[in-house]
Structure 1
Amino acid sequence: MKDIINLIYGGKPGVDEETLNTTENSLGASFPSQYKELVKLINNCEIGEWIFYPIKDPKNIRKTWDDIVRNNQPSVRFTHIPEDLIQFAENGTGNKLCFKINNNKMEEAIYFWDCETGLTEKIADNLKQFIQQEYELDNEVDLDDE
């Protein structure tokens, strides 16, 4: 992840392993390795139009209260999102990015959940690929505008 950190916007300081373990225990599944690597470097980042939910950081509670655990609780979570998905980012329109849980582990693949249709689609094999895709999308030159 260090090789693509310059493609990521904003965020707060990364979290430590203990904080990650606490979050995984609360969610009932372990994070994919690339996601762990990312949030150790930068927490609550923005990639393209996507805002990643923070990992609640005891050192920065005020700025991380609306965290990934809270956003996956039944009282906050959209009811139509399949139970085998952990939502980790949103784009402000109700759409979510999710990891799929398999045997108490979140898979590396990134899934897009559409709030209007309720359909889920795999959009990247892993987080690094997703970040690169979003960067390329954000930096496309629209030749029709020139």
Structure 2
Amino acid sequence: MSRTRVIGTSSTGIAAAEAALKRRLPASFANWLLANNGRSLGALTVFPVFDARDPRKTWDSIVRNVEGRWAEWLEIFSDSGLDLSALLPFADCGTGDLYCFDYAAVGAAGEPVVVLWSHETGEAPAVADSFADFIVSADRIG
């Protein structure tokens, strides 16, 4: 029996992820997930929110990445003097570096700016004013 592929998610899935992350996702990202959850963005792997309607495609969710791989990176950089607590990774660019929302820096749209966090240096320069701006430039990034 073949399963129909589910694209997008529900507001319930987003709310569950926000509760687990203890952070509200930026509105432009949440809106993108409603229509595109489980899809990549160019060459970037965007972490989905888990959706029980398509557990295979959404298993490696944003919550799983934050609680797993990101927690390990935070431990590695714990003695570096860098404060990474305001970062929330949402996409993997395939090199080990992660695109993150920086909740310590709010852009003109009232959302966290997007930064590219380096797994080598821990530095995270801004790359877009918001997720909405980020997806416009994703063709150049990915």
TM-score over 0.5 (shorter chain): yes
Which contiguous aligned blocks of 4+ residues in structure 1 show a shift greater than 6 angstroms? Answer: none
Length-normalised TM-score, structure 1 = 0.76
Q: May I ask how many residue pairs the two structures share in their alignment? A: 124
The gaps in structure 2 that reach 5 residues or longer are 78-82, 105-109
Distance 1:138 1:107 in 2: 20
State the Cα deviation string for residues 16-56 of structure 1 (Å, max 9, x = none): 11111011000001011100110000113222331101110
User: How far does residue 138 in structure 1 lie from its aligned partner after superposition?
Assistant: 6.8
Length-normalised TM-score, structure 2 = 0.78
Distance 1:20 1:108 in 2: 17
Distance 1:134 1:22 in 2: 27
Q: 2:36 aligns with which of 22, 42, 48?
A: 42
> Which stretch has the larger CA shift, 42-51 or 29-38?
42-51
Of Structure 1 and Structure 2, the greater strand share is in: 1
Whether 1:22 and 2:16 are equivalent positions in the alignment is: yes
Q: Secondary structure at the match of 1:20?
A: helix
Which letter maps to 2:57? K
Q: 2:47 aligns with which of 39, 42, 53?
A: 53
RMSD: 2.3
Whether contact under 8 Å (1:12, 1:42) holds in the other structure is no
Whether 1:76 and 2:69 are equivalent positions in the alignment is: yes
* Higher relative contact order, structure no. (Cα contacts within 8 Å, ≥ 6 residues apart): 1
> Which stretch has the larger CA shift, 47-56 or 20-29?
47-56
Distance 1:52 1:31 in 2: 14
Which letter maps to 2:128? A
Distance 2:141 2:25 in 1: 27
